Amino acid sequence: MKSELTITPKGDTLTLLEGKALELKHPDKLKISGQIESVNKYMAARKATEQAYGSLQHINRDLAVITVDDEAMSIHLDVDPNSPFGTEVVGTLEMNPDLLKFQLNQNYKFSREALVELIRMNRRFFADIVENGNVVSALQRLKISTTGSLEAGSDTRGNKESAFKKTVDSAVVPQTFVLFIPIFKGQPAKKFVVDLCLDTTENNVRFWLESVELIEIAQADKKAIISAQLADYLDYCIIWK
């Protein structure tokens, strides 16, 4: 069967090019990752937009799936799970890096010098700047003294008596201080009490920081933040892991 091609030029010149056409290229799958608000902002920006049905960023309520991982503190939007090219957006609630420096509730042991440096350089996160100076001064003035005696037995059987006593003037060190710092990245600052704990080693003293109040606030805020991001899209398919 003979094929015919009819061309009707619109101008005075008709140019014919010969060669190999470009290879068919599939679109790249769009994956977006950001803070916890990412899914909400992505969907809000596409409300009432005129995108063709079936386009890669068109959001069809009957097809889109939102997955929430409470432990990983993430919200995942799959615009079209049936399409290998469907857009995916992930929003993650991350701990504030400045808060992580304090190693709260991690049983991490600071030397006196390291803790003084940490507290001094992060004065902006203290609810009371004067309290910051008091804690630094108390740690620097902390005194440790050790006394001991050793007596060897005379029965040639290796019996010996030893007694050591270590005294730490810990009364000068405050038991608590108050931080005012965002718990999660991009979220408002929260105020909570921190316990300043210490213990002695053979020739030094080690410190660690704890906060029961931080655990309680973080848990409550995490649930509230995630729920707020989903509030406008409860008519979508939402899967909780």
Q: How does strand 237-240 pair with strand 65-69?
A: parallel
pTM of the model: 0.74
Share of the chain above pLDDT 90, in %: 57
Question: What are the beta bridge partners of residue 197?
Answer: 208
Tokens of residue 73, six digits: 């503190």
Q: What pLDDT does 209 receive?
A: 97
Span 195-207, pLDDT tens digits: 999 888 766 789 9
If DSSP codes are grouped into helix, strand and coil, which group holds residue 224? helix
Give the pLDDT confidence score for residue 155 in this predicted structure.
45
Q: Confidence band (pLDDT; 50, 70, 90) for 116?
A: very high
Mapping DSSP to helix (H, G, I), strand (E, B) and coil, where does residue 126 land? strand
> What is the rounded CA–CA span in Å between residue 40 and residue 61?
14
